[in-house]
Amino acid sequence: MITRREYLKLSALAGVALAINPKLLLADDSPREVITRVIPGTSERLPVVGLGSSASFSRVAGEGDTDRIRAVLQALVEHGGKVFDTAPSYGEAEGVAGRVAREAGLAQRLFWATKLNVVPRGGDTADVDAARAQLEQSFARIGKDPIDLVQVHNMADPPTQLGLLNEYKQAGRIRYVGITTTFPRQYADLEALMRNEPLDFIGVDYAIDNRTMEERIFPLAAERGIGVLVYAPFGRRRLWEQVEGKQVPEWAAEWDIATWGQFFLKFVVSNPVVTAATPSTSRPEHMIDNLGAATGRLPDEAGRQRMVEYVAALD
Ligand SMILES: NC(=O)c1ccc[n+]([C@@H]2O[C@H](COP(=O)([O-])OP(=O)(O)OC[C@H]3O[C@@H](n4cnc5c(N)ncnc54)[C@H](OP(=O)(O)O)[C@@H]3O)[C@@H](O)[C@H]2O)c1
């Protein structure tokens, strides 16, 4: 749900009156409680919706539009979000976000999730010195030591790169370590690592029309006590293209869903294994919209099923 003041702010930012079911506007501006999840094995809680930074965010950072980047990061923090997912390979994203966050006094308020990967294209081994240099570059860019979470990007040379991350963790410079993939051909190897390595997090793709994770990886994450960051919760542009020109169904109001962004994200974060979803956006109004999915009621199992069927039936 959003407050009337937020609705007016969003409409002004978007330059149009937004088509939001009036039943979903809160009558007052009382702060809304943000839904959080505990990081398995700890008492630390994270808001279930955060921000990713490849795609459009990285494009805007690359164009040097620091005002937009600042506005998105401010919207994230002001509306109760915290997790910011980035990587050295996302163009200017990590560097620009780090600088802007420091200047705006936000760096220490964010949960920074960055990545490590120095395996050359077409190769399969990482040079340890190059990996150390990349990590030190992330420390310099982000301005936070320890960094909250560093994950091996795309399953690249885990023995070397995860080994190094564990070394940094032992030294107190990284709080949590993990590994990511959004490639189905790497899921079996990810599963093996989840069984054999002490991982704090995985970062994987999951969306209402992309639910392979439910079969093996999510149950294993629950069993092993591994936190889950969800990537590509909109399938980047895929789901937006599917719902273009279509209204969110009225019955979604039962779970305080006012927009398609909230529909897709509430599906994702209502899976109890998910610690946080990190949709990417380059627009503050979308950031506020997305954080709306971290408030109000979440669908139960029957509701989730209804949502899946509804989206699958759209042409
Ligand atoms: N292997 C890995 O480690 C890996 C792989 C993939 C992704 N990731 C992480 O996960 C993040 C998310 O994935 P993604 O960026 O690929 O795709 P995504 O989050 O599924 O989709 C991003 C797209 O959705 C649009 N969008 C966001 N909020 C919106 C809203 N409320 N209304 C309308 N449009 C909206 C964005 O455009 P606007 O800018 O216009 O909002 C952008 O085009 C990445 O940025 C990255 O941090 C990691």
Domain residue ranges in the chain:
8-14+36-313
Q: What is the pLDDT of residues 271-301, one digit of tens each?
A: 999 999 999 999 999 999 999 999 999 999 9
Q: Which amino acid residue places its CA nearest to atom 37 of ligand 1?
A: 281
Predicted pLDDT of residue 6: 72
Q: Tell me: pLDDT of 16 over 80.
A: no
pLDDT, residue 18, reads 65
Does residue 222 register a pLDDT over 90? yes
From 68, 231, 240, 264, the mutation candidate for ligand 1 (largest count of ligand atoms within 8 A of CB) is 231
Ligand 1 centroid–CA 56 distance in Å is 7
Closest CA to 14 of 289, 257, 238: 289
End-to-end CA gap in the chain: 28
Return d(Cα 170, Cα 167) in angstroms, integer: 5
- Closest ligand 1 atom to 154 CA: 1
Q: 292: how many CB neighbours lie within 10 A of its CB? A: 25
- Annotation: CATH topology of 8-14+36-313: TIM Barrel (3.20.20)
Give the global pTM: 0.93
Task: Quote the Cα angle for 181-185-187, to 5°.
Answer: 55
70 Cα to the center of ligand 1, angstroms = 17
- pLDDT cut 90: percent of the chain above it: 88
> What pLDDT shows up at residue 55?
87
Measured between alpha carbons, how far is 201 from 198 in angstroms, rounded to an integer?
A: 9
CA distance 291 to 287: 6
* Nearest Cα residue to atom 30 of ligand 1: 286
207 DSSP β-pair partners: 210
Determine contact, residues 116/150, Cβ cutoff 8 Å: yes
Residue 235 Cα to ligand 1 middle (Å): 7
Closest approach atom of ligand 1 to CA 279: 19
Query: SS3 for 1?
Result: coil
DSSP assignment, residue 187?
H
d(CA 122, CA 80): 41
For residue 280, the CA-to-ligand 1 centroid distance in Å is 3
**Ligand 1 contact via 117 beta carbon (within 6 Å):** no
Q: Which two tokens stand for residue 140?
A: 């310099």
Whether 238 lines ligand 1, by a CB cut-off of 6 Å, is no
- Reduce the DSSP state of residue 11 to 3 states and report it: helix
State how far the alpha carbon of 194 is from the alpha carbons of 12, 171, 303, 313, in Å.
46, 23, 30, 35
β-strands 36-38, 45-47 pairing: antiparallel
Residue-level pLDDT at 5: 72
Quote the percentage of the chain above a pLDDT of 70.
92
pLDDT at 22 over 70: no
In the structure, what pLDDT confidence band is assigned to residue 32 with cuts at 50, 70 and 90?
low
Give the chain's length: 315
How many Cα neighbours within 13 Å face the side chain of 74? 12
Half-sphere exposure of residue 282: CA atoms within 13 angstroms, side-chain side:
16
Mean pLDDT of the chain: 94
Mean pLDDT of 138-147: 97
Q: How far is the CA of 106 from the centre of ligand 1 (A)?
A: 21
- Say what the pLDDT of residue 12 is: 74
